[in-house]
Structure formats: structure tokens, C-alpha cells
Amino acid sequence: MSFATRLAMARIDSECAKADERDRSEAAFQKRREAAASKDAEAPDPGARWSWSPPGAEGKRDEAKAGDDAAAADAPVGCPAHRFHPRRGRTRERVAAALAYWKDYWKQYDDPDMMELFDFESRHYREFDPDVDEHAHSHAALHAEYRELFERVCGNHLVAVLGTTPDDFADELRRDLNSGDGDRRAKAEEFLDIVHKADDYAEFAESMKAAVRSARWLEEPD
């Protein structure tokens, strides 16, 4: 399964999870209405509302504290413990870091892998005539070659720079798509759009035709 396909599945999983969450919210709301109407649910003593905790809360707090203590013990001297915490580590910022790099990937001329993408585009973009709507079989073959190159370059960046694998990154992306943080979800969606533009033939062909139009405009006499 290709990297782009795994990310596309992450988006589908996210949409399904959101639909399930809406169904659960509606069911919970209806249940609360029925409970309030029948007065079956008893509220905690108002005089103790600041000290009351739901069942199991104490155990969860103890478990969380134990995890924090373990993280603090493992963290090197001078480093914040939260950077090593399994729930709040630097992995939470990988999607944002990947987006920051690939959003303006045309600026990354110092990356040898990225230069392969640039070289491929410069060698083949004139094969896509913007005045012709039909697409040759050779165009599809070029896109397949480009897609494979894009996935390899992207995978190398994930491993060498972000310290993760495509599979693990896909899981992190799925987590961000389902996050309650709107900014985190938006960045995950934006990164998926970048990958989609490379994976989708129509998007690829249009970008090559746009390069031809730009080249023609630059070549026009003043």
C-alpha cells in the first residue's frame, strides 16, 4: 500500500470517526433528557461540588502522576520532562513540521532529494501541452514515475529529518485529524492536500501545464 493511499485511508477513518461521534453525542443527549425528565439521576451534594470527583478519577490521576514521574526520571538533565512523555512528546509536532517543509517545498533547493523532484519536473513539463485536453499514455507513465519519486523523497524526509516512518506518521496524522484541536486538524488536512496533489493524476497534469504557461509567458518578447 502506497504512502498516499495510507494517508487517504486516514482521512476516511477520520470522517467515519466524526460521524460515529455525532451519533454518540445525539444518543447521549437524548439519554440525558430522559434522565432529567424522570428525575432518576441524582446530582452530587451541592455543598461538596468542589471536592466531588467522578468514579475512578483518583485512580486515573495517580496513574497520570506515575507516568509524569517516570518521564521526569528518564529526561536528561536540563530537558523538560514533557518532551519525553508518551502522551505529550515531540511526536505531536511532526505533522506541523512536515507541513511547514512541504507547503513551500519549492524553496528547499539545498535538499538533494528535493532536487530530484525539481529535475524531474524541469525535464518533463513541456510534454504537457496546455492547449490540448487529451492525455497520452506516456503522461500516465510519467505521473506513476513522479508519484513513486515523491513518496520516496517524502519518506526520506520523514525518517532523516522528523525521525519517524511513513507508517508511524500516518498514525500520527490520523490522530491529528481526529483531534479536538481545530488548528491541529486543519494542518493535518492541509498536509493531506499536498500529498493528494502529487498522487492525483489530474492535479499533477494541471501543475505541469501551468509550468508550461509560465515558461511561455517568460519567453514572450517585451
Domains of the chain listed by start with CATH number: 3-18+90-219 (1.20.1520.10)
| pLDDT of amino acid 9 | 58
| pLDDT of amino acid 140 | 94
Question: Is the pLDDT higher at 178 or at 65?
Answer: 178
pLDDT tens per residue across span 8-62: 555 556 565 555 566 666 666 667 667 666 655 554 444 444 344 445 545 545 5
The mean of the pLDDT values for the chain is 74
- pTM strictly above 0.75: no
pLDDT tens per residue across span 109-118: 788 888 898 9
Beta strands in 57-106 (DSSP E): none
Question: Is the pLDDT higher at 193 or at 58?
Answer: 193
pLDDT at 174 over 70: yes
CA 21 to chain CA centroid, Å, is 20
CA–CA separation, 183 and 96 (whole Å): 10
pLDDT tens per residue across span 59-89: 545 555 555 554 444 444 444 443 333 333 4
Of the candidates 148, 172, 151, 140, the one whose C-alpha atom is nearest the C-alpha of residue 102 is 151
